[in-house]
Amino acid sequence: MSAALRDSLDVNQKPAFDESITKRQYHSYQPYSNVALGNNDEIRIAINQQDLYTFPAESYLYMQGTINKPATVTEEVLFVNNGAMFLFDEIRYELNSIEIDKIRNPGTTTTIKGYISIPHGSVHRYQNAGWDSDGNKTGTFELCIPLSHIFGFAEDHRKLIINARQDLILHRAASDVNALKTAKDGCTVTLNKLLWRVPHVHVSDAVRLKLLKTLDSRRSLSIGFRSWECFEYPHLPRTTKVSWAVKTSSHTEKPRYVVIAFQTKRKNNITADMSKFDHCSITSLKVFLNSDTYPYDPLSIDFSTDKYSVLYDMYAAFQESYYSGDRSENSPLLSKALFKSEAPIFLFDVKLAQEAVKTTTSDLRLEIESSINIPESTSAFCLVLHDKMFEYNPLSGQVNKLL
């Protein structure tokens, strides 16, 4: 007998209502300076009041801005897909002045992560965050960007943050050229408003008493998540074989997934779309993690004859593996045809390799092969999703990194 059928027999069961949360309201936090939002500025937004229960996992950035073009530019100016993230060169989140999570090159990092993570059924919701393959054709824009689109911390750590100071720091990029696409240079982006909107949670007396006992116990609370770290090889050599030593890290920083993408003549080029990637006639790519090799069998890819089914299958299987059924719909964002034309991504699941790695360090290396010489001005990006672990003490304010 199924559990649902068995429950249907209990006619005396009374409905239960969860009243542990009595109220949840969004509060807006502004930067220290509302005028220092231009290129090269550091934008710091702080939550100084510590006697709060906040839920940063469901917070978001509210952004208003204007796309400016000089009179000499008569062509249409597009805000590229995920263009708001290309306005910054670094974003980080701090807890009690200790860095918890940080992404460099947030435009490319969150674009790659978005292509592999956003379910197809949620594409309309993410349009509100600037995820629009057709681009924003108007002179103004208004966006709500979930913090879970920016940090692995916000995506994975779905717990209240209690009795702690929080800071969100954004560094504006020196140029807006990567956020825009048009026929001529000279266009810029002006940020008119930037707010961090964070849910404040009010709980029932029973839950409040439980949380106060946690504070009195002086017990540290854990923060575990998967961080997104993006590495760049700015100019690949014009050969058919390239070896790239990506990073050497401590064994505690366990890589879970390795994602590789390529771009040719797109960076700092306003006539090209920085949110798209190129296949560069890659025929094979191997990931070496110490003594382990991924994939075991060599990839035999030929984009010229549309032989990339194995590559697409690795891409399409990511959401089910990464989110473990937490999402109602684990369907890839891109069709097979769009995968080739917009984001031919090489995605490797390496999380099971860690059981066999006994050394104190992990060496990550890539071997890339192409059917022709890699085109001039081609960059490679390697996004590594790896574990991070912190603990913080709500009473003393101390924050320690464990992983």
Q: Is 103 helix (H, G, I), strand (E, B) or coil?
A: strand
What is residue 204's predicted lDDT score, i.e. its pLDDT?
84
Closest Cα to residue 388, out of 102, 58, 96? 102
185 and 146, same domain (yes or no): yes
DSSP bridge pairs for 144: 62
Q: Note the pLDDT of residue 186.
A: 87
Check whether residue 194 and residue 261 sit in a common domain: no
Counting every residue written for the chain, the total comes to: 403
Is 354 within a domain?
yes
Which tokens belong to 220?
């540290």
Q: Among residues 220, 235, 259, which one ends one of the domains?
A: 220
Give me the pLDDT at residue 252, please: 63
In a domain, 318, yes or no: yes
Sorted by sequence, the CB contacts under 8 Å of residue 368 that are 6+ apart come out as 236, 241, 242, 243, 244, 282, 284, 285, 374, 380
Say what the pLDDT of residue 296 is. 86
Domain C-terminal end among 159, 190, 220: 220
194 and 328 belong to one structural domain: no
Q: What is the pLDDT of residue 345?
A: 96
Could you tell me whether strands 180-181 and 98-104 are parallel, antiparallel, or unpaired per DSSP bridges?
Answer: unpaired
In a 3-state reduction of DSSP, which class is residue 279? coil
Which of 212, 219, 163 is closest to 397 using CA atoms?
A: 163
Is residue 397 situated within a structural domain?
no
Could you state, in chain order, the average pLDDT of each consecutive group of 10 residues for the chain (403 residues)? 67 73 91 92 92 93 92 86 96 96 96 94 88 72 95 95 95 95 90 96 87 87 94 95 87 83 96 95 93 87 94 93 69 93 95 60 89 95 95 92 85
- Cβ-in-10-Å burial (0-12, 13-18, 19+) of 12 comes to exposed
Asked whether the CA dihedral 142, 147, 151, 152 is positive or negative, the reply is negative
Tell me how far apart the alpha carbons of residues 106 and 90 are, in angstroms, rounded to a whole number.
6
For 199, counting Cβ atoms within 10 Å of its Cβ (0-12 exposed, 13-18 middle, 19+ buried), the class is middle
353, two tokens: 């390799």
Tell me whether residue 16 is in a domain: no
Q: Specify whether 242 is located in the same domain as 380.
A: yes
> 313 in helix, strand or coil?
helix
| Token couple for 298 | 């060599």
pLDDT of residue 356: 47
pLDDT for the residue numbered 326: 53
pLDDT for the residue 266: 96
297's CB contacts (< 8 A; 6+ apart) are none
101 with 114, same domain: the answer is: yes
Pairing of strands 53-54, 140-146: unpaired
In angstroms, how far apart are the furthest CA atoms of the chain?
76
Q: Tell whether 230 and 96 lie within a shared domain.
A: no
In this prediction the pTM is 0.92
For 83, the domain range is 21-220
Q: Which two tokens stand for residue 237?
A: 């050599």
Q: Are residues 249 and 211 in the same domain?
A: no
The single-letter DSSP state of residue 8 is: H
Do 236 and 154 sit in the same domain of this protein?
no
